[in-house]
Structure 1
Amino acid sequence: MSTNVYLGLGSNQGDRQANLAAAIELLTQQAGSLVAASRCYETAPWGFHSPHPFLNAALCLRTALDPIPLLRLTQRIERQLGRTIKTSPGHAYADRPIDIDILFYGDLTLTSPTLTIPHPALHLRRFVLEPLAEIAPTLRHPTLGRTVSELLDTCPE
């Protein structure tokens, strides 16, 4: 059985457009078929200071992968494209060639030590909601009960 999964992508190191394109290509080769992709949005870094703006996009893929194997795949693709995993306390956010977040996995809600679905902060992040609203404005958050467009309209950022 396959499910629509919504992913947020971001890049602020190197050739940002090429990084996003490479991530999309690898995701469609290994995770499933592309249903929709937003345009790229240039945004300021969130949660840290950097002179390097991000390019952000949202994707919808149709996948047969379960959530945890999908998470492992996204992390493997991040590493393949040059991302290093942060390990020092207090440095959760940093410049990166690619970041891939699982935003929604169908209407599933999941809380595990390694993954929370829906993404726990997506409703607070305009850089996530704007591209997501482009491809899925009526998608309803399964726990907040509001559409992506409604979340964007009330986003504090």
Structure 2
Amino acid sequence: MMNVYLGLGTNLGDKEQNLRMAVEKIGERIGKIVSLSAFYVTEPWGFSSGNSFLNAVVCADTKLPPLQLLNETQAIERELGRTHKSVNGQYSDRLIDIDILLYGEEVIKTAELVLPHPLMTERRFVMEPLVEIAPDLIHPVFHKTMSELLDR
């Protein structure tokens, strides 16, 4: 079993229900939920929108290898109504977004998947809920705790 940390976000529809449905599907299809942060209201990052986001981070134990995990998170997004992914840094409103933040201590760089998530430490809406549930977790590239990375 591998601990995976997933970032969740939504800014359309019933946001709290969107996050709860995503967590439910993660528990059913990815693995046992170990911890779930509070839900954080945040402003859009990387684009303008009149819709605020609701964000959270979930930790799950999974048996899925990284690329299968990616396929499952994308399938969950589609089931919950997401019709397109952000491309080349062009972000837009979305019903649900599930980002793989960390897969144990793995460092992966492929065309399909880069782990740890390359932008996670730049995003307060990721780091605050991550620090809530895993303050002492060590980032496998920066070799600092999540708390230290948030504070910098």
Name the TM tier (shorter chain): over 0.9
| Matching of residues 3-152 of structure 1 within 5 Å | 3-86=2-85, 92-152=90-150
SS, match of residue 36 in structure 1 = strand
Gapped runs of 5+ residues in structure 1?
none
Q: CA RMSD in A?
A: 1.2
Give the drift of 1:92: 2.1
Which amino acid in structure 2 is aligned with residue 41 of structure 1? Y
Task: Determine the structure 1 residue equivalent to 2:151.
Answer: 153
The number of aligned residues is 152
Once residues 88 and 66 of structure 2 are traced to their aligned partners in structure 1, the CA distance between those partners, rounded to angstroms, is 27
Once residues 63 and 137 of structure 1 are traced to their aligned partners in structure 2, the CA distance between those partners, rounded to angstroms, is 21
Cα 1:62–1:93 change in 2 (3 A) is same
Once residues 21 and 48 of structure 2 are traced to their aligned partners in structure 1, the CA distance between those partners, rounded to angstroms, is 26
Structure 1 segments of 4 or more deviating over 3 A? none
SS, match of residue 9 in structure 1 = strand
Cα 1:90–1:116 change in 2 (3 A) is closer
SS, match of residue 76 in structure 1 = helix
- Identity of paired residues, percent? 52
TM-score under structure 1 length normalisation: 0.94
Give the drift of 1:84: 1.4
Once residues 41 and 52 of structure 1 are traced to their aligned partners in structure 2, the CA distance between those partners, rounded to angstroms, is 14
Once residues 137 and 34 of structure 2 are traced to their aligned partners in structure 1, the CA distance between those partners, rounded to angstroms, is 14
Cα 1:90–1:65 change in 2 (3 A) is closer
Once residues 144 and 91 of structure 1 are traced to their aligned partners in structure 2, the CA distance between those partners, rounded to angstroms, is 23
